[in-house]
Amino acid sequence: MNRDKLRRILAFIIAMIMLTGILASTISVVFGATTFDEEVEDLLLLIKESNQTAEEKRELAKSILKEIENIDKEISEINDKIRVYNEDLTETRILLKAAQEELDQAVADRARYQKLLEERLAVMYMYGDVGYLEILFGSESLTDLITRINMVRSIAKYDDEIKDTLVEIEEKIEKKRDEIAAKEAKIEDLISSLEAENKKLEKKKASKNVLYQEARSDAAMYDALTQTLQEDLQALYKEAGGDYTSTSMGNDIYNLLWPTPGYRYITDEYGMRWHPIHGGNRMHYGLDIGAPTNAKIVAPGNGYVSYAQYHWSFGNCIKLEIGTYNGDSYQLLFAHANKLLVKEGDFVNRGDVIAYVGSTGDSNGPHLHLELRKNGNRIDPGTLFDY
């Protein structure tokens, strides 16, 4: 077993484990594939699956990212709410402080008044020369005494009333303060529950981030696997030395891609025509497709680049082997390119951009001159391409 073969088998095993997770089936696939076509078929299948999985992982990463963005939006909405509530809280605390100060003042007022009353009564009893007694002792007659008693009563009542009023004021302020304090507690509760919600969301975001990174690194892993498998496929083709069928290359030659996506206008068909540069009736061996400079030229099928050079007449030119079909070999030629993106010996996949449209070589304007060769003979590209 040579090194290349061993490498391929290892790639198979890794690919199968990654794609299916089942080692048993891996071994049967690896050792089951014996012929060139079987090996190519297995590789093409693995490449397809690996590509598909990479795409799925990328889609997954994209959807997780969307979720993360939504969580971020939620978090910032909650933060906005918290900000508003905090402003509310600051205001409420200012009000609470003012109410408390008012209450302290009322309590102090009442206490001072009470003390004043107590002092007055004490002094009255001790010295009898102030307050109610003085008024009473100053009576000049019984009538006067009664009048004065009534007066003292109303003064005492008045004192009590003032005391009651002060108590009422104090109670009212206290009630107001308690209401504000309750509001403060409510806002604090709201803020802390919002903060708890945010914490939960941050946690959720962190775990989504992990999943996002995983999906991305999975996608990168599958991309790397695809790359390795494609290199293996190319090595396999190289080993085969050009002797491969279009089927083994993964081509359905009757289902090739149009080489210039978006440009299908035929400026010159295959057949006899008046030559635009050299004059005279000449055979035109290809199909001219009108397309602007630097329009993409894609590989119509999987293929081996057997020629990629500047040619005096074809300009920048690519020959692509797309394999044999029913014993006939097929080759595509792309001429007058502005720029070539592949080199001889490259294997390209169906749909890969291989060159850009140009007007190099014998050409009088940007276009793609496409030729189809069957066993080396130029035939009408319309045999394989619908136009």
**Residues near Zn ion (CB under 5 A):** 286, 288, 369
Our CB check for Zn ion shows the closer of 285 and 325 to be: 285
Our CB check for Zn ion shows the closer of 218 and 288 to be: 288
Our CB check for Zn ion shows the closer of 173 and 287 to be: 287
Cα–Cα separations (whole angstroms), residue 373 to 212, 333, 376, 379, 380:
48, 8, 5, 6, 8
Integer-rounded Cα Rg, in Å, for the chain is: 48
Least separation in angstroms between residue 267's CB and Zn ion is 8
Least separation in angstroms between residue 292's CB and Zn ion is 17
Tokens of residue 54, six digits: 């990479």
Our CB check for Zn ion shows the closer of 102 and 380 to be: 380
Least separation in angstroms between residue 217's CB and Zn ion is 48
The answer to whether 262 and 298 are in contact (CB under 8 A) is no
Least separation in angstroms between residue 333's CB and Zn ion is 10
Our CB check for Zn ion shows the closer of 286 and 300 to be: 286
The answer to whether 256 and 384 are in contact (CB under 8 A) is yes
Our CB check for Zn ion shows the closer of 88 and 268 to be: 268
Least separation in angstroms between residue 219's CB and Zn ion is 42
| Non-local CB neighbours of 325 within 8 Å, separated by 6+ positions | 245, 246, 247, 253
State which residue has the least CB distance to Zn ion. 369
Our CB check for Zn ion shows the closer of 49 and 288 to be: 288
Least separation in angstroms between residue 249's CB and Zn ion is 26
Least separation in angstroms between residue 288's CB and Zn ion is 4
